[in-house]
Amino acid sequence: MKIAIFPGSFDPFTVGHACIVERGLPLFDRIVIGVGINDNKRTLYSSAQRVEAIRRIYAHEPRIKVVGYDDLTIDLARREQARFILRGLRSVKDFEYERDIAAMNENLGGIETVLLFTDPSVAHISSSVVRELISFHKDVSAYLPQPKE
Ligand code: ADP
């Protein structure tokens, strides 16, 4: 069974993240969305809120599991029996960072990273910009995936 971890802060989970999940689903049997819990990183939403919001979005999709984790992504991968890490590439800015992390995860855990391009229509959307808009009380609903009926 091909299982991939899609790790991130997801503070909040955006339509850009959802695009990567959608593009990953045909490649894997199961995707485990790993919500990183980092006490040193101040987040707008608590880890429980982030996990809950993503679970609601994918309540209809049995091939997606959502978990919080506070250790290394390779440790989460081992627990979930995943051999792959899924990440999104928005632009060249992401590239070098992703390459270094991918090399680390391959060396430490033998985990292969699969990088997917995002749809150009959502490539500019980032959690940090959405957080900033929220802080100015702007409507961000267009940037957040809605749960399917
Ligand atoms: P992290 O703090 O680990 O970078 P993020 O929640 O910011 O976590 O992002 C998780 C993953 O989603 C990363 O691989 C990132 O490149 C990808 N991602 C974020 N926004 C987008 C977007 N608009 N389109 C495609 N991928 C994205």
Residue 88 Cβ inside 6 Å of ligand 1? The answer reads yes
Give the domain ranges of the chain.
Answer: 3-143
For residue 6, report the distance from its CA to the centre of ligand 1, in Å. 9
Please identify, in words, the CATH class of the domain defined by 3-143. alpha beta
Distance, CA of 39 to CA of 29 (rounded, Å): 31
- 33 confidence band (pLDDT: 50, 70, 90): very high
121 is an active site residue = no
Per-residue model confidence as pLDDT tens digits over 79-132: 999 999 999 999 888 899 999 999 999 999 999 999 999 999 999 999 999 999
124 is an active site residue = no
For residue 27, report the distance from its CA to the centre of ligand 1, in Å. 18
User: Which residues on adjacent β-strands are paired with residue 66?
Assistant: 33
90 is an active site residue = yes
The predicted model scores a pTM of 0.94
